[in-house]
Structure 1
């Protein structure tokens, strides 16, 4: 490890009081850093991580054989899910291995130039640094990483759930992979939205419950311990529904877990007075939300903590929700900074320059970061010096 990482882990060990860091959470960049073969010098090391203490960035590092294609904004490797046992679900387009001039940069050519190549899921283990490609589902191509979820049970056992809705019908296919059987099982489930296409804005997992997210419409809930119940539709809070395909919703909205509660954050800019609101899902079966906080950005901008960031009075983009803070804390991007705001008090609690050069800053949003709660040992990180 580098000196900075060693110091960070030493501080974390003092805080949690054990060699294994239990309760650690990280701000994970969803687009991994792709490296050449000579980057990992230790035998058997196929992935690693550059670890940063929140609100700094943590980034997965993978070998180019896993993600060989040039990155574009509509086709790039993507961390679709994580669990607390050190597993990461990585989606990546496969195909011939070109010699991109900048492995970590985004190719600025026409969009769609990589369509048609096969896609794959990998499980990257943060403890062993091994990357294992999952078998391809039978007769079912991988469609969208935003519909994939990783459910961790233990270090040895996990599930991958890939939802593939059938628009215009009342059913959908669920592809379920088990690490025990090492095979995919296809299940047919109901599809409550029927004729409405699904937004595929990611998934949220808590224990054995999965929520598929459409930031324009709502959530689809599923309980792995009670699969007979099928999918349950949860609409967004009243007044939040928008037409299908509304652009850039991940810049103004996000869904996440906070101490076991499912929360929804939204920025509104009505009447020239931008406001950020946070709701909590009270009753899933009835789709009942309660409004926790509504903070005016003018109050946030007037906070001395915000002034200390030297940021202008501009409406930021939503990044994520703090996963285990006793208050209602949301994080935002603005000009390469990530800052957290306690929405009860409209005060900035912390901020830092966020090292996510790619995708370009114009795309920074909740789509490209996730809160990763993990039991991690110091040896799970690798040195990223010299990159």
Structure 2
């Protein structure tokens, strides 16, 4: 008697995850109106790893990437809330809360003028039915103090919370990312080799300092000065905060991982020579060169599964077995400045549960905020005039890219070829 095998059940929602591209795709308003679901401000297309999942936004919400800046998804919560930072042509940074399930987007009110807005220094935390957006900024008076700028959804205003810092927070710190973990937001400061953490929900938050593991054999500075995230990253995997670094010499590079313990100490886990991976048959089958890759991300559930970028490709390595277990072209929007390479700074592991109703109360507040903003907006005539002015500035920025970026045409041609190639592969897949 033949045994009938039923297909395996789908994975539980908490195990589903995506590799979210932090740079969204920006389309013209008419195209968005034609292709988005009715009433949607944004659209989110989720794909299975190692392919990219993508947020698409209209031009009225965010300008496209230019030579000096690009729109950036600073945070993504499992409930579907995304925090988008958009840099307008006159350098103003605006924050937008988008919801992947409903396609709604709400622009948060203007911040105090003392806060310049920085995509890598702002984070998002959802706790219960509340949501807070928080931005960390050091003082400019040389005192080493800092301030936390917080926006609680439903309160319609920004609140500045002063922080005492010991050791002091230097004005020239280099924020790389903000991670939500353990009821706190963690700012990754790679320039000074530390994490800064606090609970943005408290009235008087305490800023904690956690030094990163000391690594003596750093790679030459020239290889990652403009791209800290290429050889260092901090992210949550397997329920713990983990640090990953590529180090050693250019001829004998290593990749190492550490896990943060409850005592805020770093426990070393893996130390793998990249050469061991390069000579493995699974890597040779990819036809990739023996070059030092850039870090992409850790699998959110399996800390032994590490993703790398090399050129336009992404591949995953099982650090325990030292072999490649996933490989693919990675199609995503790129920054217009070709000196910004693909690295952990441009992607996020996103565990999104589309059935979640955890943020329904937050969505209600955001809709109310959107209605208030619409009623207080300037007249239509003034609004149209400002829109034309903004559109002209955006057009000038795009022309500057074509003139001053010698790789613009080549990059765009390659991107279109990749999209067509990936599209053919998907159509041919059974």
TM-score where L is the length of structure 1? 0.81
Q: Is 1:87 matched up with 2:74?
A: no
Structure 1 CA distance, aligned partners of 2:93 and 2:287? 42
Structure 2 CA distance, aligned partners of 1:206 and 1:199? 20
Aligned to 2:44: 49
The one of 289, 308, 312 aligned to 2:289:
312
1 or 2, which has the higher strand percentage? 1
Structure 1 CA distance, aligned partners of 2:292 and 2:22? 23
Contact 2:40 2:104 in 1 (8 A): yes
Q: Is 1:294 matched up with 2:288?
A: no
Structure 2 CA distance, aligned partners of 1:240 and 1:331? 24
Aligned to 2:134: 161
CA displacement, residues 164-216 of structure 1 (integer Å, 9 cap, x when unaligned): 11252231110111113132111001233426322110111025211000123
Residue aligned with 2:226, SS: coil
Structure 2 CA distance, aligned partners of 1:291 and 1:136? 43
Residue aligned with 2:213, SS: coil
Aligned to 2:66: 72
The one of 185, 203, 211 aligned to 2:178:
203
Contact 2:84 2:98 in 1 (8 A): yes
Contact 1:331 1:340 in 2 (8 A): yes
Aligned to 2:298: 321
Q: Is 1:38 matched up with 2:12?
A: no
Aligned to 1:5: none
The structure whose Rg is larger is 2
Residue aligned with 2:261, SS: strand
Structure 2 CA distance, aligned partners of 1:131 and 1:198? 31
1 or 2, which has the higher helix percentage? 2
Map of 1:237-252 to 2, 5 A cutoff?
237-239=213-215, 246-252=225-231
Aligned to 1:265: 244
Structure 2 CA distance, aligned partners of 1:240 and 1:209? 29
Change (3 A) 1:179 1:38: same
Structure 1 CA distance, aligned partners of 2:94 and 2:111? 10
Residue aligned with 2:176, SS: coil
Contact 2:134 2:200 in 1 (8 A): no
Query: Unpaired runs of 5+ in structure 2?
Result: 1-6, 357-418, 424-430
Change (3 A) 1:140 1:229: closer
Residue aligned with 1:201, SS: strand
Contact 2:257 2:269 in 1 (8 A): yes
Question: Which segment drifts farther, 220-229 or 164-173?
Answer: 220-229
Change (3 A) 1:14 1:61: farther
Residue aligned with 2:345, SS: helix
Contact 2:23 2:333 in 1 (8 A): no
CA displacement, residues 321-348 of structure 1 (integer Å, 9 cap, x when unaligned): 11111x4221100121111112222121
Structure 2 CA distance, aligned partners of 1:74 and 1:193? 32
CA RMSD of aligned residues (A): 2.7
Contact 2:304 2:319 in 1 (8 A): yes
Contact 1:22 1:376 in 2 (8 A): no
Query: Unpaired runs of 5+ in structure 1?
Result: 1-10, 95-113, 379-384
Contact 2:217 2:249 in 1 (8 A): no
Change (3 A) 1:355 1:93: same
Structure 1 CA distance, aligned partners of 2:296 and 2:47? 16
The one of 198, 207, 210 aligned to 1:222:
198
Contact 1:93 1:117 in 2 (8 A): yes
Change (3 A) 1:271 1:251: closer
Aligned to 1:370: 348
Structure 2 CA distance, aligned partners of 1:211 and 1:170? 18
Structure 1 CA distance, aligned partners of 2:352 and 2:292? 31
The one of 316, 319, 328 aligned to 1:340:
316
TM-score where L is the length of structure 2? 0.73
Structure 2 CA distance, aligned partners of 1:227 and 1:329? 38
Structure 2 CA distance, aligned partners of 1:229 and 1:93? 28
